[in-house]
Amino acid sequence: MNRKKVISLLLCVIISFTGILGGCTKQSKEQSSEENAILAALAKVEKEKYKPLAFGQQHIESDTVQWFNTAYAIFTYANGKDLDLIGGLEEDYGNMTEAIKIKMQGELKSGWKITNRKTAIKQLRWLVTEGHSKVYGECLDEIKKEKLTEASIQDNSSYDDKKKAQLLVALEVRQIFPKSGIKGWDYSRALQVIGDCYHAGYLNLSECMDISLPIGQELQELYSNWEGLAESYLYGYQFWSGEYPINNGGKTAARKEAYEELKALEDSPYERIPYDLDLVVTWDEDTGNAVVQEELDEAEKAEAEYEKSIAEDEAAIAQYQDKNGNYPILCKDDKSKKATLNMLDDFTLYPMVMEDATHLYFANDNFQRVEYDLLSQYIEPEELRAQQFEMYEQDPFHCKDVVEVDFQEVAGEIYYYEFSYLYNDLPFYSYVAIQKVDDAYLMTHLYGSVENKHSLETIKKLCFEVAQ
């Protein structure tokens, strides 16, 4: 071979090698660009201090927000949370109740080792750059290197049960999702953790949405529909739990069952929210704050109108109050008093607009209420008691463990009965007395929290000592 040919051959090799290197560099850039927007959003948040915002989900609600929620809906549904809410939990103008905040901080600490804003960003960065997809990739490398098959994996005694399960799951997943693998699992969990961090007070709402946006857009690139994303998520769950095959009654089976139930819902988010939705920003601070201010203005206006109506009602009923401060319970047609009541000092009158003063409603600051009603028609006390008992029992959202404590005739034409129950999980009591005043029947209903319960003597005074 002459010198010219050797030089030409060397040039070809160099050019070819340079082309290969160039191709590798390009591929590396493409891979990093997939995560670039997510990492940029995380880096931006990392540089800033936490700033609470005045607005909440209701002020920025959109299909985009619901798309994020739907991406981790299997987790939300399986844990009995609200599919339509960020993190599946309620919030109040962007502020978490202290109970929810403490609960979520505890869950993030035990499940994710997230204890503050810094560790939140760290774990989110791990989820989108490594997650369980890294271990999955290592399994694929081993399958390729060792030319593993299902039979050879099952027969290999050097693998423990979890390693066998992960290799077998990887064998399946690479056939279905050769490029995206179980990233649906990692990215869906990232969105879920972002929602949890919002409720824990580590991210504000704008930050929560800013990080969610590029993750959602990346998921749309990786999978073509909700079914594909859900399948990747479930494979990832199985890979993480180390279950193969899926056992009835196992964790993965339960998660798959939750997904099937979720799909079958009449108002399933998978039907409501298109997977290929154009994800757009609806959570800028100016817009959110403007909506909040509009609501506050409306609330202030409503409060002023309410105060005005209360003042008008108080003025209307003042004509009935006598010089001793007694309130009328019943009035004759000519407005003269038929029966009056002297209310306890710690109770405040909340008058209704009334012509005949047949209904009075009093309350104090300790969850105590007392109402006086003229029965439009006489009802046998036992029947009235049964109706009220049924009313309590049929309100399971607020009332439970309803127990009838007592029912008796106190004196002629005066009946008395008592209930105890839990109202929003707080112990409450309810006393009712029915008595005849001239030709009318008056029902007195006193109820409130057991913690602030008045003495029986006071209760009977309120129920029975009506001046005539």
Other Cβ atoms closer than 10 A to 338: 20
| Topology classification of domain 321-464 | Jelly Rolls (2.60.120)
pLDDT at position 458 is: 67
Residue-by-residue pLDDT tens, the chain, 468 positions: 444 443 343 334 333 333 333 333 333 334 445 578 999 999 999 999 999 888 889 888 999 999 999 999 999 999 999 999 999 988 754 455 788 889 999 999 999 999 999 999 999 999 999 999 999 999 999 999 999 999 999 999 999 999 999 999 999 999 999 999 999 999 999 999 999 999 999 999 999 999 999 999 999 999 999 999 999 999 999 999 999 999 888 999 999 999 999 999 999 999 999 999 999 998 877 777 777 788 778 888 888 887 887 777 667 656 656 666 665 554 444 444 455 555 666 666 555 544 444 455 556 665 565 655 555 445 565 666 677 667 666 665 455 565 555 555 544 445 556 667 676 667 777 777 766 666 556 667 677 777 766 666 666 666 555 444
- Give me the amino acid identity at 77: Y
The CA–CA distances, whole Å, from 269 to 82, 266, 272, 441 equal 11, 9, 5, 53
Q: Which residues of 385-420 are buried (b: 16+ CB within 10 A; e: fewer)?
A: beebbeebeeeeeebeebeeeeeeeeeeebbbbbbe
pLDDT at position 20 is: 33
Q: What's the farthest any 2 CA atoms get from each other in the chain?
A: 132
pLDDT at position 296 is: 78
| CA pair distance 346, 454, nearest whole angstrom | 11
Domain boundaries, the chain: 49-277, 284-318, 321-464
Those residues with Cβ within 8 angstroms of residue 174's Cβ, 6 or more apart along the chain or in another chain: 140, 143, 181
Kind plus residue range of the DSSP H or E element containing 150 = helix 150-155
pLDDT at position 414 is: 53
| CA pair distance 232, 145, nearest whole angstrom | 24
| CA pair distance 138, 25, nearest whole angstrom | 22
Q: Return the bridge partners of 461, or none.
A: none
